[in-house]
Amino acid sequence: MADATRTVHARVEGLTRVYPARDGRPAVNALGPIDLDLYKGEFLSVVGPSGCGKSTLLELLAGLALPTSGTIEFEGIMVRGQVPEGVGVVFQEDSSFPWLTVWQNVAFGLENSGVDSAEIGRRVDFAVNFMGLSDFAKSYPAQLSGGMRQRVCIARTLVLRPRLILLDEPFAALDQQTRLLMGDELLRLWRETGATILLITHSLDEAAMLSDRVAAMSARPGRLLEIISTGWPADRTSRIVENAAFGAVTARLWTILRSESMKAIGHGETSAPA
Amino acid sequence: MTRYAWVRISIVAGAALILEILCRTGVVPRLIMIPPSEMMASAWQILASGEIKSDFYFSFVNIALAIGFSVVGGFITGLAIYSAPVLRATLEPFLTSYSAVPPIVFHPMLIVIFGLNRAPQVIIAVMFGLVPMAIHTISGLRRIRPVFLKVGRANRLSRAASIFQIQLPAAAPYIFVGVTLAVSYSVIGVISTEFILSASGIGHQISFAYDNYDNRTMYGLVLLLLATATLLNSSLRHYSQRMLQRWTR
Amino acid sequence: MKARQAIYVAGFVALLLILWQGLFLLFGLRVLTPPWSTFANAWNMLRMPYYWPDIMESIRAFVIALLIAFGLGSIGGILIGTSRTCSEVLEPLLVNINTIPKVALYPVILLIFGLGIWAKVVFGALHGIIPIMISSIGAVRNVNPIYIRSGRAMHLTRWQMIRLIWVPACVPEMFSGLRLGFSLTLLGTIFGEFFASQKGVGFLLMNAIDLRNIPTIMALILLLVIFAVVCNSALLAADRRLHRRQA
């Protein structure tokens, strides 16, 4: 649903990623072609069966990988193999550095960005408090639970004040209850920072609950099958599951994706959505 | 100390006790081995009298030099090989075969090149210790979790900053294992060379005592050497294990 | 990929030979013999019956040492590894013993075993046995408990468990220890022949060192290196094949 008053924050056009043939293994068409517009300030989730290339899409968008063809644009400037200023990435695995304390971890990106130390102190203190880590600022990641470590990673991204935050299945390693709480955290973060958020997830519930729009991808090579707009209000929380429309969104997603998922595990079926 | 540590200590003490009994009762003839208690007495005597002080000093300096060069040289070599994946694949069979040839054999050549000073012995000991250090440097750098490197790129770190702020700290515990081995092998290298080809140093004194049927001195020195080496190596290993535990989960 | 790797290895060897020749040009015959004559000397050594008794002696000692190191090391390691308490008690002890400069024990071994072949066999085996044991303990301990439970769930007999589960699971990881043990045992055996021995490749080396006979030293080193590299590459290839099945 194109909204003429909304600005496009990031855009990919004709994006593909092909892994070339090696060692007698054939070339792998991992992704595409994909066309996608990300609007400023929106919360967009991407779901799809395993192996469909969701993580690849995120890495291309972040500038961590180069596409085989197509273009990537962020704030009007082409992205080519370098992470643009203003983009923050949270990875699937816990990426907190075990040799630094929580505080030092969060400060990590700032140390290299030429910000003076007083400002670093202010921003890190703010991020640590914001993510509820102030009691643990001097602890090491090894002493924290998985959920807390992911919060450290998110805080580390936050201090750089990114305008676009890319999250690659950040809660995959957590249990369901923690995931729901972290989802609320993510919404709070989104509201307070006003950043654009792209969330990759394999959980249809999570996508339906948190997002303004949900993009469903086909099995490999991943293409966009449909983008569903949820129309949720901006002040939503995980309690949105009580809304009757929530079930309709997830049902629609599953209808689109069911046959794709079967293809991903090896059962052939045509990909025409119902 | 943990329960298991006590068990280990009692195993070693028990073995020493059995040996003591076997020696004292004559089952093991004096010509072959003296009782452990006498070994300890001899070791104490040697330490107290200070007669071997210059040899200790000689060996110690060589060992220290060898450790220094092995660690630095091994680290640089490891870093270089790691940065060039081509080299890594090519060199692997050579690196593991390396340990099969005693570098001592190069002694005559080294004497001709460097003369009759410390250099040949130190160089041979470095040949012992440098390769394990390089191998573990490579291994440590390889084990860096790829996501750490991605964090570096997501933060737009320069290549140098990535190496010093992410890669080296991440690889540190494994590299330290290499340091531990470099120390251990430097000791072995220096002592082995002194054993066969030197006129001073602990290794030489042990060999000298053996040639003169002086079992008492020989065993005393062997005990001193074993005790020092074990102490040094186990404290290094203990520290390296603590490091590993904190770094990895 | 394999072809490309072979080219790299060939290139590396060529580079070494060029460096060698360069060092010879730099330092002369008092320090080195050039590649061509070293290879020729080594070839002559293999052909002349004069050297055969020594070579055979070393091979004999090495093979026995290897069998002891492999045999006792793996069996001991497996036995220790199957018991949790045993491995937790003994493994740190073994690692500690491994760091002892074994050369310090050599005079003791000579006193116990005398000047014959057994001293060098024991010395060689001593170098290899402990790393092999440590690596076997590790291999047994690292077997995924899921495999064991699956085997029990399938009601396998004890013998079937060993044959179908334990052995295939352990062997690949043990193999790396065996590779290291091979080189170390070779080192130990040769070193054992340096001192108080009248036969063997190590004795020939020691003799040549005393006489400053550079050509002989270089030729013997070359033979040792070729032997070690060939055997190690074969073991490495076997190691890779075993690990590929594991993935």
* Mean pLDDT computed over B186-206: 86
Q: Which residues pair with A47 in a beta bridge?
A: A216
Write out the residues of chain A at the interface with chain B, using a CB-CB cutoff of 8 A.
Answer: 62, 64, 82-83, 85, 87-89, 91, 93, 95, 97-99, 108-109, 112-113, 140, 142, 156-157, 160
**Which residue is listed with tokens 């690596």?**
C135
Picking from B32, B93, B96, the nearest residue to C180 by CB comes out as: B96
Note whether C101 contacts B86, CB cutoff 8 Å: no
Tell me the percentage of chain B whose pLDDT exceeds 70: 95
Whether the predicted model's global pTM rises above the 0.90 cut:
no
Give per-residue pLDDT as tens, B225-244.
888 888 888 888 888 888 88
C224 interaction partners in chain B (CB closer than 8 Å): 100-101
Q: Does B248 touch chain A if contact means CB atoms closer than 8 Å?
A: yes
Note whether A88 contacts B153, CB cutoff 8 Å: no
| Span C33-246 CATH architecture | Orthogonal Bundle (1.10)
Question: What pLDDT sits at residue B100?
Answer: 66
For residue B228, the distance in angstroms to the closest alpha carbon of chain A comes to 32
Phi then psi for A253, rounded to 5 degrees? -60, -45
Taking each helix axis from N to C terminus, what angle separates C52-82 and C84-98, rounded to the nearest 10 degrees?
140
Select from B19, B34, B97 the residue whose CB has the most chain C CBs within 10 Å, as the one to mutate to test that interface.
B97
Q: Does B159 touch chain A if contact means CB atoms closer than 8 Å?
A: no
ipTM of the complex: 0.85
Interface partners of chain B (CB pairs < 8 Å, 3 or more) are A, C
Q: Specify the long-range contacts of residues B9-16, CB closer than 8 Å, at least 24 apart.
A: B11/C89, B11/C93, B12/C93
Question: What pLDDT sits at residue A272?
Answer: 45
* Residue A217: exposure state from Cβ atoms within 10 A (0-12, 13-18, ≥19): buried
Question: What pLDDT sits at residue A270?
Answer: 47
Q: Which residues pair with A199 in a beta bridge?
A: A45, A167
**Position A88, amino acid:** G
Domain ranges of chain A: 1-86+164-274, 98-161
Residue B10 domain-assigned (yes or no) = no
Select from B151, B242, B245 the residue whose CB has the most chain A CBs within 10 Å, as the one to mutate to test that interface.
B151
DSSP C63-108: HHHHHHHHHHHHHHHHHHHHSHHHHHHHHHHHHHHHTS-GGGGHHH
Segments in chain A below pLDDT 50 = 1-2, 269-274
Cis status, amide bond into A221, omega within 30 of 0: yes
Instruction: Name which of C66, C187, C181 is nearest B101 in CA terms.
Output: C187
Note whether B148 contacts A95, CB cutoff 8 Å: yes
Q: Which residues pair with A77 in a beta bridge?
A: A74
For residue B99, the distance in angstroms to the closest alpha carbon of chain C comes to 6
Using CA atoms, how far apart are residues A183 and A203, in angstroms rounded to an integer? 12
Give per-residue pLDDT as tens, C127-177.
999 989 988 888 888 888 888 888 888 888 877 777 778 777 888 878 878
CATH number of the structural domain A1-86+164-274: 3.40.50.300
Note whether B155 contacts A62, CB cutoff 8 Å: no
Q: Specify the long-range contacts of residues A144-148, CB closer than 8 Å, at least 24 apart.
A: A144/A102, A146/A94, A146/A173, A146/A174, A146/A178, A147/A174, A147/A178, A147/A181, A147/A182
DSSP B87-115: HHHHHHHHHHHHTTS-GGGGHHHHHHHH-
Picking from B11, B107, B195, the nearest residue to C209 by CB comes out as: B107
Phi then psi for C14, rounded to 5 degrees? -60, -40
B176 interaction partners in chain A (CB closer than 8 Å): none
Question: What pLDDT sits at residue A31?
Answer: 87
**Position A15, amino acid:** L
Using CA atoms, how far apart are residues A89 and A198, in angstroms rounded to an integer? 10
Note whether B233 contacts C112, CB cutoff 8 Å: no
Using CA atoms, how far apart are residues C220 and C38, in angstroms rounded to an integer? 9
Domain ranges of chain C: 33-246
Note whether B100 contacts C108, CB cutoff 8 Å: no
Give per-residue pLDDT as tens, B6-51.
888 899 899 999 999 988 888 888 888 888 998 999 999 888 888 7
Provide the 3-class DSSP secondary structure of residue A45: strand
Handedness of CA C39, C45, C47, C53 (dihedral sign): negative
**Position A154, amino acid:** I
Question: What pLDDT sits at residue A163?
Answer: 94
DSSP B113-143: HH-SSHHHHHHHHHHHHHHHHHHHHHHHHHT
DSSP A183-211: HHHHHHHHHHH--EEEEE-S-HHHHHHH-
Specify whether the CB–CB gap between B69 and B128 falls below 8 A.
Answer: no
Over chain C (247 residues), the average pLDDT of each successive run of 10 is: 75 88 85 88 88 90 94 88 84 85 86 87 92 88 83 82 78 82 88 83 87 88 86 83 68
Phi then psi for C6, rounded to 5 degrees? -60, -40
| Residue B220 Cα distances to B52, B188, B215, angstroms | 12, 18, 8
Give per-residue pLDDT as tens, B56-98.
889 999 999 999 999 999 999 988 888 887 777 777 666 666 6
Q: E-strand spans in chain A?
A: 8-19, 28-39, 43-47, 69-74, 77-78, 87-90, 164-168, 196-200, 213-217, 224-229
* Residue A267: exposure state from Cβ atoms within 10 A (0-12, 13-18, ≥19): exposed
Strand order in the sheet with A77-78: A28-39, A8-19, A69-74, A77-78
Note whether B246 contacts A160, CB cutoff 8 Å: no
DSSP B153-197: HHTT--HHHHIIIIIHHHHHHHHHHHHHHHHHHHHHHHHHHHHHH
Note whether B247 contacts A93, CB cutoff 8 Å: no
Our count of domains for chain B comes to: 1
**Position B204, amino acid:** H
Q: For residue B101, what pLDDT band results from cuts at 50, 70 and 90?
A: confident
Note whether B210 contacts C107, CB cutoff 8 Å: yes
**Which residue is listed with tokens 């440097």?**
B137
Residue range(s) defining the domain that contains residue B114: 36-247
Q: Locate B154 and state its tokens.
A: 């997501």
Report whether pLDDT(B2) > 80.
no
CA atoms within 13 A on the CB side of C238: 15
Using CA atoms, how far apart are residues B154 and A196, in angstroms rounded to an integer? 17
Maximum CA pair distance of chain B?
Answer: 74
CA atoms within 13 A on the CB side of B62: 31
Picking from B154, B165, B247, the nearest residue to A62 by CB comes out as: B154
Residue B24 domain-assigned (yes or no) = no
Picking from A64, A88, A113, the nearest residue to B153 by CB comes out as: A64
| Residue A201 Cα distances to A55, A175, A182, A206, B207, angstroms | 9, 14, 13, 7, 70
Residues 167-196 of C with CB under 8 A from B: 179-180, 182-184, 186-187, 190-191, 194-195
Beta strand A8-19 pairing with A87-90: unpaired
Q: Locate B30 and state its tokens.
A: 């004096």
Note whether B230 contacts C31, CB cutoff 8 Å: no
Question: What pLDDT sits at residue A2?
Answer: 47
Q: Locate B247 and state its tokens.
A: 């770094």
- Give 3-state DSSP helix, strand, coil % of chain B, rounded to 5: 85, 0, 15
Provide the 3-class DSSP secondary structure of residue C40: helix
Burial code (b: 16+ CB inside 10 Å, e: under 16) for B206-240 equals: bbbbbeeeebbbbbbbbbbbbebbeebbeebbeeb
Using CA atoms, how far apart are residues A5 and A40, in angstroms rounded to an integer? 11
Select from A74, A97, A106, A160 the residue whose CB has the most chain B CBs within 10 Å, as the one to mutate to test that interface.
A97
For residue B146, the distance in angstroms to the closest alpha carbon of chain A comes to 9
Whole-number CA gyration radius for chain B: 22
**Position B131, amino acid:** V
